[in-house]
Copies of this chain bind each other. A is one copy, B any other.
Amino acid sequence: MDLTTTTRARVAGKRERTKQQNRLLILQAARKVFAELGYGATTVRDIVRATPLAAGTFYNYFNSKEEVFQAMQDEIALRIRPRLHEERAKARSIEEFILGTFRTFFEYVASDEANFHAIRRNTDTLRVRMDTPEILAGFHELRSDLEEAIANGLFPSLDPDYLMAAIVGVAFEIAERMLRRARPDTEDATRFATALFMGGIKALPTINSGDTA
């Protein structure tokens, strides 16, 4: 059917396909090994051994286990970021903005719990949080969205940097506690976090007058 390939080569060159497959193999192996041994105790060799590939091949794809970890994190960040942004873009009130952000986040976390736990597990310390560039970009986006909402008059003129920090802190910390509960309830977590900020925003000092609104 095609001038340059037999019928078995479907869509892309074989080179390209094995490249994608190898990358995937490594990521899947890493997810498994991280979950088993914990991130800290895992070595590049452990990941390679959980793979049919040779040690040298690993380094054609990643330079370290940290890079593998980041790739996993970034994958998550890229999946959730557009949803969060969209949710906030269509918000017509403070409540829609805040509630949409928290609900989307908590629902994602709950749906991807396995991934989250695998990623959090670590040998020597009980908990680890790493912010990759992609995740930091998500924080910046939240701040930009807040700045825009302030410019639009949707939000009072609060400190967008601290507000962003507070939202991020509450989101991650409550997500953690939520997952630890017997039956994680995303609506409960959403209600709590949203109410906190709905009430808080009213009381927060605006930037022009240093007093409560």
Whether A166 lies near B196 (C-beta < 8 A) is yes
Known interface pairs A173-B169, A192-B204, A203-B199. Does A128 touch B126 (Cβ–Cβ under 8 Å)? no
Whether A200 lies near B195 (C-beta < 8 A) is yes
Known interface pairs A70-B125, A129-B129, A170-B170. Does A196 touch B191 (Cβ–Cβ under 8 Å)? no
Q: Which residues of B contact A131 (CB under 8 A)?
A: 125-127
Distance, CA A132 to CA B66, complexed state (A): 21
Distance, CA A169 to CA B171, complexed state (A): 8
Whether A166 lies near B193 (C-beta < 8 A) is yes
Nearest Cβ on chain B to A103's Cβ, whole angstroms: 15
Known interface pairs A129-B129, A136-B126, A205-B191. Does A166 touch B174 (Cβ–Cβ under 8 Å)? yes
Residue A168 interfacial (CB < 8 Å): yes
Q: Report which of B161, B166, B169, B195 forms a contact with A212, defined as CB distance below 8 A.
A: B195
Whether A169 lies near B161 (C-beta < 8 A) is no
Chain copies in complex? 2
Whether A70 lies near B124 (C-beta < 8 A) is yes
Q: Report which of B132, B174, B202, B205 forms a contact with A165, defined as CB distance below 8 A.
A: B174
Whether B125 lies near A132 (C-beta < 8 A) is yes
Residue A162 interfacial (CB < 8 Å): yes
Number of interface residues of A (CB under 8 A): 49
Whether A162 lies near B177 (C-beta < 8 A) is yes
Interface centre among A126, A127, A169 (most CB of B within 10 A): A169
Known interface pairs A195-B205, A203-B195. Does A173 touch B177 (Cβ–Cβ under 8 Å)? no
Residue A197 interfacial (CB < 8 Å): yes
Q: Which residues of B contact A201 (CB under 8 A)?
A: 196, 199
Q: Which residues of B contact A129 (CB under 8 A)?
A: 127-129
Q: Which residues of B contact A9 (CB under 8 A)?
A: none
Residues 10 to 50 of chain A near chain B (Cβ within 8 Å): 40
Residue A133 interfacial (CB < 8 Å): yes
Interface centre among A127, A132, A200, A201 (most CB of B within 10 A): A200
- Ranked nearest first, the 5 interchain pairs of A and B with the lowest CB-CB distance are A199-B203, A169-B169, A169-B173, A66-B124, A196-B200
